[in-house]
Amino acid sequence: MTFSNLVHAVIDGVLTGSVYALMATGLTLIFGVMDIINVAQGVFVILGSYLSYALSVHFGIDPFVGLLITMPTMFLVGIVVERAFIARLKGPEKTAMSILVTYAVSLVIEGALNMIFSTNPVQINNASYVNSSVHLFGMWLPFIYIYGFILASVLLGSLYFLLYRTRFGASVRASLADQTAAALVGIDVKKVSTICFGIGIAVTAAGGMIYGTTNAFNASSSYDLISRLLTIIVLGGMGSLAGALVAGVSMIILEDIVAVAWSPVWSNITFFILLVIVLSFRPQGLFGKQSARVA
Amino acid sequence: MSTPFLSFDGVIAGYGGGDVLKGVNFGVESGGVTSIVGPNGCGKSTLLKTVSGLLKPRLGSITFKGESLVGKTPKAILQMGIVQVPQNHSLFREMTVRQNVELGAFLIKNKAVVAARYEKVCELFPVVSERAADRAGALSGGQQRLVEFARCLMLEPELVLLDEPSMGLDPKTLRAMFATIKTMNAEGRTVLLVEQNARQALKMSHQGIVLENGVVRLSGSGIDVLNNPEIAALYLGGSITHH
């Protein structure tokens, strides 16, 4: 493996990993605030991809401009799903039940997408920047990867601002830390949960758009996505936003390095091996709390 | 007859399939300290949760200055002037002490009011200003308890519910904590206190309530309850305290 290959792997990891980090941030935010494991996150990403695809192919709307429509739409989808299914889950079995309920939601959406768009893979590729590249750091980088990185950075930055610099953010962080204590200072934890679910799903519109421009996809692509996203948040620490960022970027860097240095066959599984090793020493993940969410 | 400050009437409440409170009746006068004592599992903490809105009673009524609390959200109950400091440490550990205390005034949107209240609680609790920038999780158990007290005062509540505030504190901190409760009360706040440390709690209380198996076994002045031979034998280590 040459030095230039290594640099390439790191750059690709940062560019692509940031998009995965964005999608995983939505998942970890939902878990952190609500104790809900949303296994439908993968299919929400694909729904976001299809929305961008439909707007781009059928209405000629640029995928990035289309986010002005798809992100609010996905936010509303999140709110409806939370109110209709998630808010009803209560009691000690809530987290376990959430896996079943969100799996059911994901099957329904997957079925609907298959009916509407068929199972033939598609790709959003009618924008000029999807198929063109720029020569940077001694390599050709597709514009879409750079734009995707910028988009993910802006959205992650906005999310950070929302969480750490606003009153709503304080209520989210308080709910993340201790829901009872948050309720006792007057935070409407139910409302915070609903909005967080909406935000967690809204980011999949952006993630899905980038995914759909860089990959051919169909509804079944959600299975690969959800396994990656769950792995990222487990490695980063369930409920940790910083963990999702670090683990998302590390996953792609590691996969790229293994693919180049060894074989692409092993690249996918390497991250899972890393996951097992890390969890053996830190069961709470890289940034997770020791006893978080046990009570 | 004047409207009672806080009143429980036939309150039945519990979790899952069982009732923990099985018909609680008593009233709390304004301006005093009322201690609720009793064995583990008798429903003391459950009772406080029904007041703060964390648990909805199945039957019965709870009124605060004549207004029903049943079915109201914790936020609505806070707005009525009732705050609760829960049993387990409830500071947001990753936030600073200052952020924690300021969150006590989450319902107040006027920043100037929040700043003024913050200065006021800093005077009462020097630990808040001394450790303002520190992560709350880095404080000792006693300090965390005092910061929780400071946070609960940010709304300048009329009624403060304290759930086992002495839990896990060393004797010196314990004394300081009880002194703080007295100060809180002297400043005009009514305190409803649940305590395992029954003897010390009753000594400083205007009213004592003994809860047993989810019903009020005895009520009276703090000293009367403390000196009741049967209660002393059951819950206060088997001896009568003379003063």
- Tell me the chain A residues in contact with residue B104 when contact means C-beta distances shorter than 8 Å: 185
- With contact defined as beta carbons under 8 Å apart, do A45 and A224 qualify? no
Work out how many CB contacts closer than 8 A connect A with B.
Answer: 54
B86/A180 touch (CB, cutoff 8 Å), yes or no: yes
Length in residues, chain A: 295
- With contact defined as beta carbons under 8 Å apart, do A40 and A175 qualify? no
Does residue A204 fall inside a structural domain?
Answer: yes
Q: Which domain holds residue A175?
A: 21-221
Does residue A16 fall inside a structural domain?
Answer: no
**Exposed/middle/buried for residue B125 (C-beta within 10 Å: 0-12, 13-18, 19+):** buried
Does residue A268 fall inside a structural domain?
Answer: no
- Cα B219 to Cα A30, A241, B197, B212: the distances in Å are 46, 51, 17, 12
* pLDDT tens digit sequence for A117-129: 999 999 998 888 8
Does residue A195 fall inside a structural domain?
Answer: yes
Does residue A89 fall inside a structural domain?
Answer: yes
Mean pLDDT by 10 residues, chain B (243 residues): 86 90 94 92 93 95 96 95 91 94 95 95 93 94 93 96 89 87 93 91 93 92 88 62 43
How does the average pLDDT of chain A come out, rounded? 90
| Nearest CA-CA partner of A82 in A29, A19, A156 | A29
* pLDDT tens digit sequence for A24-42: 999 999 998 888 999 999 9
Identity of residue A8? H
- With contact defined as beta carbons under 8 Å apart, do B165 and B181 qualify? yes
B90/A180 touch (CB, cutoff 8 Å), yes or no: yes
Q: Does the CB of B84 have a partner CB in chain A at under 8 Å?
A: yes
Question: Looking at the 3D structure of chain A, how many domains does it have?
Answer: 1
Pick the more confident residue, B88 or A280.
A280
Say which of B54, B84, B103 has its CB closest to residue A174: B103
